Chain A
């Protein structure tokens, strides 16, 4: 293999997206902590008139985190990994450089439009697809530019075989493109009638069909933003940071194609006991359980990559983040299928156990992996060592504690809620009025808020550490082979 030092990789776009990842992470998680505390202390809804209520902020939280923090992270790593595994520098093609920068700035414009419209309450109401049609069009353009970037770089590659991470990036690109297009089919009302707000639109699908398409999208947006590109990252960064080869190529193959084949069925588990056809619900349930196989396949492949090298877990905080990320991935992909079993879902659906599940995946798996990825990239992009290992260790334990507080409190809250909703007295009447099932959750909502706050504080520590790494840390001469250099 050619030495990576011979090609002068251009990280200007990767650096832009890295900054965006950290900024949107701070914004999205801060809103998240605020709305978490709003559920424990409702007066916090009144901080900014109609613009500060839970209803307005909840989509802002989810969208800033998913499409701001996570997508920026995906793109930061793509513009880093892509060049290195394809053995070609973006600087070799002025066209790709322009495309990359255009990608970034159009995307930032899109995010600004999203933030402004969501504050104003301009939303289609569909979860993670709240944006009205003009923004949808902008998003499609940004996405197409990214596609051109991927395939453009692949087109001029020197390494002919596509590395596993590239498979996952291609899948992310195709999957989200398909899902987004079909779920956002809508008719702009102004164009049809010439009346009302010009940005307003109405969904092409109604009722049960709308729900089917939305959760086919909703679940798989999770798949193709929270899972697929994050696996792309760990397949590159874990072997690089640890200096160990991937445990098994065959296991990678099985996990990749298995995941692609099975994932798109699982949307039905969001609609159990709803009015969609029974067979769709049952298939959704079954395929969700089957999904354990490819998910654990990837995770086990990662953990076994560390075989014989477990001392690194003690010595290198980046390995800590990645190993715990894989572990949370296993945890989350076991919990999900359990919730997708019909009898469990009857209890869990509509309760706080669901956001609990989402967050052990996003905070533990996605968040930790992105943090580790950016930290691995930093010494290589900025030619400086990581500013502080101590701070990183502290961040790791603070955030891990935060996640544990988060999911454990939401387990209890969700199951309590579900049990109380169905509880009956000796005569078969409902035992609790709805408000009883709300007030009982106050302590758990508070604990969850504190857990989220821990994670947020940890993220601020990360942002500080990263900023110092960029600006004030010791300059390093040669690019490190594996373990990222860091000051104590």
Chain B
């Protein structure tokens, strides 16, 4: 059979494809629906949090920080309750990461504050002596992209039935309605911050990346 296959490239290729494709079908499909179900109380991200998530992705925070707490005592002691599948139901993409150069951030909102993040992003070693994390001063000058975040929220609402605008869930509305909600949410964060640059910009209706990413980090619980 093998000799025959080696003279018949088409069937050879078909043979390879079958032999490599079956494993994906068996591992991914059976539990797909189960794994897509949210845990009770899990909510999709607000538009501002989503904009912050985009900043997190833009600077590849996930290259050094995981968002996955494994079920070991040493991990639950350090980071809190271990992760449940349904908690990630609205995470597109998932941000588990594969390396902990820095600590896990799955529940960082439980034990860090806006004030802490502001100082930490400006100069990590001033808050955590010995830290090897770079500073992220550019987040204080770059503006958050609220429009793209809104576009993403609306897309997942339309395409994947993500429950925006439902009872007890974040409100999306039209883009103009959404912008008002975003500003109100951002105000609560800006009020807790010290940076005059961020405050001045906000007075002019502009939201810096740092505000969005803090909104996102605070939402991780």
Contacts and interface: CB of A to CB of B under 8 A. Distances in A.
Contact of B90 (A174, A182, A207, A354): A207
B46 interface: no
Interface string A233-254: 0000000000000000000010
Interface residues of B, number: 86
B94 interface: yes
30 contacts: A42-B125, A55-B134, A122-B58, A125-B60, A154-B9, A167-B6, A171-B16, A171-B20, A189-B151, A195-B154, A195-B175, A196-B148, A203-B93, A206-B36, A207-B86, A208-B88, A209-B28, A210-B88, A210-B92, A212-B28, A216-B27, A267-B27, A276-B35, A280-B27, A284-B27, A354-B98, A417-B100, A430-B74, A438-B130, A439-B130
A174 B85 contact: no
A53 B59 contact: yes
A277 B64 contact: no
Residue among B71, B101, B150 with the highest chain A CB neighbour number at 10 A: B101
Nearest to B33: A209
Among B22, B129, B142, B151, residue most surrounded by chain A Cβ atoms (within 10 Å): B151
A124 interface: yes
Interface string A203-235: 101111111111010000000000000000000
Given A174-B17, A195-B147, A354 B99 contact: yes
A178 B36 contact: no
With most chain B CB atoms within 10 A of its CB, the pick from A207, A274, A355, A423 is: A207
A127 interface: yes
B49 interface: no
B203 interface: no
A196 B147 contact: yes
Describe B's contact surface by its main secondary structure: helix
B100 A351 contact: yes
Given A274-B70, A350-B66, A207 B35 contact: yes
Given A193-B154, A212-B28, 17 more contacts: A38-B132, A45-B134, A46-B135, A50-B138, A122-B58, A195-B154, A196-B152, A197-B145, A200-B148, A203-B93, A207-B86, A208-B88, A208-B94, A213-B28, A253-B2, A270-B98, A435-B128
Given A59-B63, A280-B27, A195 B100 contact: no
Interface in A266-282: 267-268, 270, 273-277, 280
Interface stretch (B155-163, B182-190, B210-218): B155-163
Interface string A51-73: 00111101100000000000000
B201 to A, nearest CB: 17
Nearest to B141: A50
Contacts, number: 255
User: DSSP majority for the A interface?
Assistant: helix
A192 B154 contact: yes
B189 to A, nearest CB: 21
A17 interface: no
B24 interface: yes
Contacts of A273: 70-72
A283 B22 CA distance: 14
